[in-house]
Structure 1
Amino acid sequence: MKLVSWNVNGLRSCVNKGFVDYFEATDADIVCVQETKLQDGQIKLELGDSYSQYWNYAVKKGYSGTAVFTRIKPLSVRYGMEEDEEPEGRIVTLEFDAFYLVNVYTPNARRDLSRLEYRLEWEERFKSYLLQLDALKPVIACGDLNVAHREIDLKNWRGNRGNSGFTDEERDKMTRLLDAGFVDTFRHLYPDRTDAYTWWSNMPGVRERNVGWRIDYFIASSRLVPSVIDARIDAEIRGSDHCPIGLTVAI
């Protein structure tokens, strides 16, 4: 099974920059996107009759949002973690025979860290949510987690220590999630690979010089590790300030 995740940073814009061409070329069984930035009815995405589409829209217009496109029919679909959570359209969960798939767009702590406290509380709820699912069947969680976990996961780690996405608190939450029974599939396969990034600032020349961050992940239940065949980063694909990432599993 082939899965893809991509923070498209505005799906309508990304469609105009080759999204459908990449979608067709990658021929994935499941494609997850984050930061769709649209509302119901604002796009008609033609992906073929074999794909079902599941959308979670944020209440705020032009903000956040997630979607999953799958040619494998899910047993159930859930939007969000709980009924009374903030309606930012950040999570879509699909249940399949052998696993749960969780597509997530983790809240950003903001440049001034004004949302760090909320972010950390959200992380605790997210970990609990994944553990509840994992108690029933294995989990694959993917998306923009808005954190570079280790120093190897961003180019200028010294200069960014303490900045949003690389605070000790955010990194610790990621460590605690993995310690709870999950695996960063890319680092599991490629523990020492450097210059492997998924997001780049829009400042001139940054992407060309590959001054980036790896903040997009496929996280899997530890017991799925024997099923992981490959994890990839399609850094050459443009259309967003993030690039797509992929996971191939024998499920």
Structure 2
Amino acid sequence: MFKLTSLNLNGIRSAASKGVLEWLDQSRPDCICVQEIKAQAADIADKFESIGELKGHFHFAQKKGYSGVGVYTRHEPSDVVIGYGSGEFDAEGRYVETRFDTPGRKLSIISAYFPSGSSGDLRQQAKFRFLAEFHMQLMKLKAERDFILCGDVNIAHQQIDLKNWRSNQKNSGFLPEEREWMTKLLHTTDPTGGLVDVYRQLQPTATDNCYTWWSNRGQAYANNVGWRLDYHLATPALAALAKTEEIYKSQKFSDHAPITVGYDFKL
């Protein structure tokens, strides 16, 4: 069983101070995709380059203390792709792809961090540009190889994916255009779709148990007023191998919870 975790750290140094390294030592994933590391290469060096037996591969944002993604893996990749060729968004540190290719297989594990539009219209428009651009990237990739994308997508797809869906229909993360983007991406017969929401494949009706993010305002975490923003998105062949899922909420390393899926394959 290949154990794959995704977690938005909301700062790797902050998460480390709250016990995430000890949790990883106990949970022992084969690979963890992290987002919002909020660090530069110099901050990672000699401290977070590896976590236990997992070696890290990173895409840092040019802006200090902002964004950044990584993949920590127990297995050595055959190749690592930093960024997806975006003139606008690669500077923000949003994409790292680790490839584990063999003569008979092309397989990637990707950590991605989608923009949030919650700070205002300018960033929401940037998010829409990212979605349009990134959809093309995912379709190109799907035509060439199997992959699992783990990340903070910053979109709750369905009403069951957030607690207060009625009052959030005009808010970033649950806008009709964002939800339509996800629907298209996950469409089973449309050639411009075809990816699988792995958690929903395993837990098609989960509501309160599915949330992975809680606002720091009020008592959102204590009252489980959450959103499902963190995903495993996979090509069908790999999604079919998903057997187990767990969202770990018992200890708060971040404003997000880790989501782990067990896949019936080996790298």
TM-score normalised by length of structure 1: 0.95
Q: Can you list the C-alpha shifts for 1:193-220, whole angstroms capped at 9, x where unaligned?
A: 1102000011232101100000000011
Q: In terms of mean alpha carbon deviation, does 214-223 or 227-236 score higher?
A: 227-236
Does 2:138 match 1:130? yes
| Identity %, equivalent residues | 41
Q: Can you list the C-alpha shifts for 1:38-64, whole angstroms capped at 9, x where unaligned?
A: 11111312523x322111110001000
Does 2:77 match 1:74? yes
2:203 to 190, 195, 200: 190
Inter-partner Cα distance in structure 2 for 1:167 and 1:111 = 14
Partner residue in 2 for 1:227: 241
Does 2:29 match 1:28? yes
Q: 1:233 offset after TM fit, Å?
A: 1.0
Q: In terms of mean alpha carbon deviation, does 107-116 or 219-228 score higher?
A: 107-116
Inter-partner Cα distance in structure 1 for 2:155 and 2:29 = 25
Does 2:212 match 1:204? no
CA RMSD of aligned residues (A): 1.3
Q: 1:83 offset after TM fit, Å?
A: 5.7
SS at match of 2:34: strand
1:65 to 61, 64, 68: 68
Inter-partner Cα distance in structure 2 for 1:113 and 1:147 = 16
Read off the aligned partner of 1:244 and give its amino acid letter. P
Q: How many residues align?
A: 250
Q: Can you list the C-alpha shifts for 1:60-95, whole angstroms capped at 9, x where unaligned?
A: 010000011101111110111106343000000011
Partner residue in 1 for 2:13: 12
Does 2:228 match 1:214? yes
Q: In terms of mean alpha carbon deviation, does 55-64 or 117-126 score higher?
A: 117-126
Stretches of 4+ moved more than 4 A in 1? Answer: none
SS at match of 2:117: coil
2:108 to 90, 95, 100: 100
Read off the aligned partner of 2:200 and give its amino acid letter. R
Q: 1:156 offset after TM fit, Å?
A: 0.3
Q: In terms of mean alpha carbon deviation, does 141-150 or 128-137 score higher?
A: 128-137
TM-score normalised by length of structure 2: 0.90
CA contact (8 A) 1:113 1:164 kept: no
Read off the aligned partner of 1:216 and give its amino acid letter. D
CA 1:3–1:232 in structure 2 vs 1: closer, same or farther (change >3 Å)? same
